């Protein structure tokens, strides 16, 4: 069995990751590429760490459910399907999609 090829893209908030990835996705047939966004692995707002001013800080490493992310990447590497709900950035007006 041939394992999928993984590429990690990192960068700070608003650094252009999503713009780059949209262009990358457009360059391949849909069946040949998929995107796993860490945005969809944020812990719920009530579990977020707070910064020195008492605000939720979604840029801290602990804001992401790293164990779930790693488990899903392992499943994909093993050729298994992964299902996850879209993270809606705590917007109550957005219905999360199945990814």
In a domain, 42, yes or no: yes
Q: Is the pLDDT of residue 91 over 80?
A: no
Q: Is the pLDDT of residue 81 over 70?
A: yes
In a domain, 60, yes or no: yes
pLDDT given for residue 67 in this prediction? 96
Q: How many CB atoms lie within 10 A of CB 26?
A: 9
- Residue 35's φ and ψ, nearest 5 degrees, are -115, 130
In a domain, 51, yes or no: yes
In a domain, 11, yes or no: no
**How far is the C-alpha of 69 from the C-alpha of 38, rounded, in Å?**
7
pLDDT given for residue 26 in this prediction? 94
Overall domain count for the chain: 1
Q: Which domain holds residue 30?
A: 17-77
Give me the mean pLDDT over the 8-27 stretch.
89
**How far is the C-alpha of 31 from the C-alpha of 28, rounded, in Å?**
8
In a domain, 82, yes or no: no
In a domain, 52, yes or no: yes
In a domain, 95, yes or no: no
Q: Is the pLDDT of residue 72 over 90?
A: yes
Better-scored residue on pLDDT, 54 or 4:
54
pLDDT given for residue 1 in this prediction? 53
């Amino acid at each position: 069995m041939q394992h999928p090829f993984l590429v990690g893209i990192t960068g700070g908030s608003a650094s252009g990751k999503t713009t780059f990835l949209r262009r990358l996705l457009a360059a391949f047939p849909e069946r040949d590429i998929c995107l796993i966004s860490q945005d969809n692995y944020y812990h719920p707002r009530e579990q977020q760490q707070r910064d020195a001013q008492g605000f939720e800080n979604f840029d801290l490493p602990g804001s992401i459910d790293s164990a779930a992310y790693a488990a899903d990447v392992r499943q994909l590497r093993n050729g298994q399907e992964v299902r996850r709900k879209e993270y809606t950035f705590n917007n109550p007006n957005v219905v999360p999609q199945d990814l």
